[in-house]
Amino acid sequence: TPRVFSGIKPSGGLTMGNYLGAIKRFVGMQGDMQTIYCVVDMHAITVWQDPAELAKATREVAAGYLASGLDPAQSILFNQSAVAAHAELGWIFNCVARVGWMNRMTQFKDKAGANAEKVSLGLYAYPALMAADILLYHATHVPVGEDQKQHVELTRDIGKKFNHDFKTDFFPETIPVIDGPATRVMNLRDGTKKMSKSGESDMERINMTDDADQIAKKFKKARTDPDALPDTMEGLKDRPEAKNLVEIYAALDDRSPDDVIAEYAGAGWGKFKPALADLAVAKLSPISTEMARLMDDPAEIDRILANGAVKAREIAEPILQQTYDIVGLLRPA
């Protein structure tokens, strides 16, 4: 059976973008394939994190996984730093990946901005660690949002170069799985920027912990344009904010955007926004209620993550050992 790996960084609270673009799709893949979902805490620290907040955010991502329907009996759920093999394979991949490849990563350019000399070395090397996360399990399918496509493609390049350099076919080819109507959920205040955990203003994102009033208020204040909704998605081509809201509606309701636009053709925002807010509350509040319940018992979350780490190590350790053997690194058995 094909193996699925993906992860989320605990660099803040989960957003609806993480839910629709990642977690909801993780749940959809559970059962058909072997699924491994990680809370990638070592990626989070590529940017400074307050230690207490990092621990809390790690549990919150885990709570989001569980509350959304990931089942520890069906999926391996754990946090990255608990399985040391990630860091170990990450180092080997630092030595396989080329500086020129990293220089082409658009996420690094976006995050570093004009400050590239001052960011951490980890932020720069991040995609090599991500390649290790995936290939440590010989995972072939990686469900991600559109923003991570380039990194998954780099994973394939790193695996290929390793195979080439060491004359082996040890690492399989990995493909990004990017599908559904919400592969890139945009920011509610600027339809050209994606919704992010660490975006400047809280009004630009829906947090998975927002209550009904906050959700309604954020959609009400979401930037739009004065025009009514057209009757096809084609009509939203140059209206990024409007398009985003229709796509969010579709993703929340498991419908196609075409279907949603057909229903709301000719409607104004005074009609569409409250309907969207009601739908979002109906779909997200059971998850946020369950997340809050889980967060009341951090020891239980820690226990689930610890069990997941044991299962993850069972797969990762032999693959790391074989990698060491291929490279010629001596490692006591």
User: Is 283 an active-site residue?
Assistant: no
By beta-carbon proximity to ligand AQP, the closer residue of 83 and 182 is: 182
Contact 174, 136 (CB under 8 A): no
The answer to whether the annotation marks 198 as part of a ligand binding site is yes
The answer to whether the annotation marks 195 as part of a ligand binding site is yes
Which residue in 56, 111, 160, 283 is the catalytic one?
Answer: 111
Distance CA 164, CA 30 (A): 33
By beta-carbon proximity to ligand AQP, the closer residue of 54 and 92 is: 54
Binding of ligand AQP at residue 185 (CB under 6 A)?
yes
Binding of ligand AQP at residue 8 (CB under 6 A)?
yes
Q: Give the position of tokens 């969207």.
A: 276
Distance CA 6, CA 8 (A): 7
User: Is 56 an active-site residue?
Assistant: no
Q: What's the Cα-to-Cα distance from 98 to each of 133, 154, 328, rounded to whole Å?
A: 18, 10, 20
Helical spans, DSSP H, in the chain:
16-18, 24-29, 41-44, 51-68, 85-96, 99-103, 106-112, 121-135, 149-165, 212-221, 240-252, 257-264, 269-295, 298-327
By beta-carbon proximity to ligand AQP, the closer residue of 40 and 261 is: 40
Binding of ligand AQP at residue 144 (CB under 6 A)?
yes
Burial status of residue 109 (CB atoms within 10 A of its CB: 0-12, 13-18, 19 or more):
exposed
Distance CA 221, CA 142 (A): 34
Binding of ligand AQP at residue 22 (CB under 6 A)?
yes
Closest approach, Cβ 253 to ligand AQP, in A, equals: 17
By beta-carbon proximity to ligand AQP, the closer residue of 133 and 162 is: 133
Q: Which of residues 189-228 bind ligand AQP (CB under 6 A)?
A: 194-198
Closest approach, Cβ 8 to ligand AQP, in A, equals: 4
Distance CA 124, CA 333 (A): 32
Longest dimension (CA), the chain: 69
Closest listed residue to residue 96, CA positions, set 175, 169, 163 = 163
Shortest Cβ contact with ligand AQP: which residue? Answer: 21
Contact 243, 236 (CB under 8 A): yes
Binding of ligand AQP at residue 120 (CB under 6 A)?
no
Residue 35, Cβ neighbours under 10 Å: how many?
25
Among 5, 11, 141, 155, binds ligand AQP (CB under 6 A): 11
Residue 85, Cβ neighbours under 10 Å: how many?
22
Among 21, 127, 180, 181, binds ligand AQP (CB under 6 A): 21
The answer to whether the annotation marks 118 as part of a ligand binding site is no
Options 162-170, 183-191, 227-235, 280-288: segment touching ligand AQP (CB under 6 A): 183-191
Which residue in 109, 118, 161, 197 is the catalytic one?
Answer: 197
Structure tokens at 237: 């081509």
User: Is 24 an active-site residue?
Assistant: no
The answer to whether the annotation marks 190 as part of a ligand binding site is no
Among 64, 90, 127, 145, binds ligand AQP (CB under 6 A): 145
Closest approach, Cβ 194 to ligand AQP, in A, equals: 4
Number of residues forming the site for ligand AQP (CB under 6 A): 22
Residue 191, Cβ neighbours under 10 Å: how many?
19
Q: Integer distance in angstroms from the first to the last C-alpha of the chain? A: 28
By beta-carbon proximity to ligand AQP, the closer residue of 12 and 257 is: 12
Sites of contact with ligand AQP (CB under 6 A): 8-9, 11-12, 15, 17-18, 21-22, 144-145, 147-148, 182-185, 194-198
Residues carrying an active site annotation: 111, 194, 197
- Residues in binding site for L-tryptophan: 133
- Residues in binding site for ATP: 9-11, 17-18, 145-147, 185, 194-198
